[in-house]
């Protein structure tokens, strides 16, 4: 009987990103970073160039580009290159997805809390 070949080790980068399968996982991962949230906050006032977006953050253009890539993958930001300038703007599709996720969970928790309230009312009535 022959032994199976050992698995080849995979290269691991210094900063590995988790494998995120669902759209909501990717959204929460993107929003979990304070730098990305700060970028979104700045973009709520209107479109900005990548360099203008980077300036107050104290990080490099390369770091901003990496953050933007994650935000773009989640449809939270859209970038467009015109000439030598890349402009960033808020993209509502990701926020719409997030809003639907929140609404679904809010509805479920409201239902559960209503059930708990009804049970507590029954217990309270039974103790009188």
pLDDT digits (tens, 9 = 90+) for 112-123: 888 998 888 888
DSSP notation for 24-46: HHHHHHHHTSHHHHHHHHHHTT-
pLDDT digits (tens, 9 = 90+) for 42-86: 999 999 999 999 999 988 999 999 999 999 999 999 999 999 999
Measure the CA–CA gap between 15 and 91, rounded to whole angstroms.
Answer: 27
Segments making up each domain of the chain, as ranges: 23-126
Band (111; pLDDT cuts 50, 70, 90)? confident
Question: Is the full-model pTM beyond 0.95?
Answer: no
Task: Supply the pLDDT for residue 8.
Answer: 41
Torsion angle defined by CA atoms of residues 74, 64, 51 and 72, in that order, rounded to the nearest 10 degrees? -10
**Per-residue pLDDT for 89 more than 80?**
yes
* Residue 94: C-alpha distances to residues 25, 49, 113 (Å): 12, 20, 29
Query: 23-126 in CATH: which number?
Result: 1.10.10.10
């Amino acid at each position: 009987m022959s032994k199976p070949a050992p698995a080849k080790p995979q290269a691991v980068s210094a900063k590995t990103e988790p494998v995120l399968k669902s759209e909501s996982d990717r959204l929460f991962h993107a929003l979990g970073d304070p730098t990305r949230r700060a970028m979104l906050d700045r973009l709520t006032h209107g479109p900005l160039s990548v360099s203008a977006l980077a300036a107050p953050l104290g990080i490099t253009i390369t770091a901003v580009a990496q953050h933007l890539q994650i935000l773009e993958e989640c449809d939270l930001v859209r970038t467009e290159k015109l000439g030598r300038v890349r402009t960033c703007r808020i993209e509502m599709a990701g926020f719409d997805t997030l809003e639907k996720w929140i609404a679904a969970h809010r509805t479920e928790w409201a239902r559960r809390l209503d059930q708990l309230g009804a049970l507590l009312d029954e217990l309270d009535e039974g103790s009188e």
